[in-house]
Structure 1
Amino acid sequence: MSAAPLRRLHEAPSRPGAARPAPARPTTEIRPRLRAVGAPEQARSLAPFAWLCVLIILTALTSVLLFNTTMAQGAYERRDLKIEIANLHQERSSLVTAIEANSAPTRLADAAKEMGMRPAETYGFVSLADGAAGADGGQGGRP
């Protein structure tokens, strides 16, 4: 506090060039007695809020890490499946080629000779209309 005398609330501040009011006489007002006031409420600690923020950040980072790991694992599985599919396509292609080579007429004739079969001397026919089967006398099924 300064050593300057305090002005009363009901007094107007003095302006330059204005007349000064007469000094006020001390009044005999009764001042209220002083009483004890409770201590001010202590400010809340920021520690719980900081721990909550750290917990939220750690949870977010952990979930991102788990998500990223799951996605990487899925990518590896996808790559492995693509490789397996490519291998199966290649195997299928080689099997189809082998089947086509083994089903060629010359290969079938050679395989039949190796098994002891011989060519037929006469040719026959089957009629689906009446279920008859018979030989055509070496005509090869031609009329």
Structure 2
Amino acid sequence: SAQAGSVAKWASETFEHSVEFTGSTAQESARWVAEQFQNARGAGETTATNAKDWVMEDIERMGSWEYSSLSIGPAEQPERVTQRLNDYGSKRWECILVDSSSEQKTFYFKRPRRSYLKHIPAKELMRLVPLLGGGDEHQ
């Protein structure tokens, strides 16, 4: 559609402007991605053995959610409940449902899955994939 075409054109122009403005090249971006892969690997956040697989794994996380739940018994002190809920909030969990159908309350939370690459324009990601290699675990 015309609207999709104009969005694609805008995204492309914005990316080109950002590359001109920052002086970033695909090679520099590939080095950045390799560093981020090593950071994620060191933190135990990925099972990928190379940067290319990690990029594909990270792309799959974009726009997806992770979920958690917390059950609170009736004897729990209100101050403690508030503290526990604030702890979830500080970790960016959003309460989406409270089930109080039983004696205990169960709080259900969601948050976006962490993605290192979600702010990189898709066009730049596509440029990076060939530069990342595939078999060398240090790339």
Q: RCO higher in 1 or 2 (8 Å CA, sep ≥ 6)?
A: 2
Of Structure 1 and Structure 2, the greater strand share is in: 2
Kindly name which structure, 1 or 2, has the bigger radius of gyration based on alpha carbons: 1
* Same fold per superposition (TM over 0.5): no
TM range (shorter): under 0.3
TM-score computed with the length of structure 2 as normaliser: 0.22
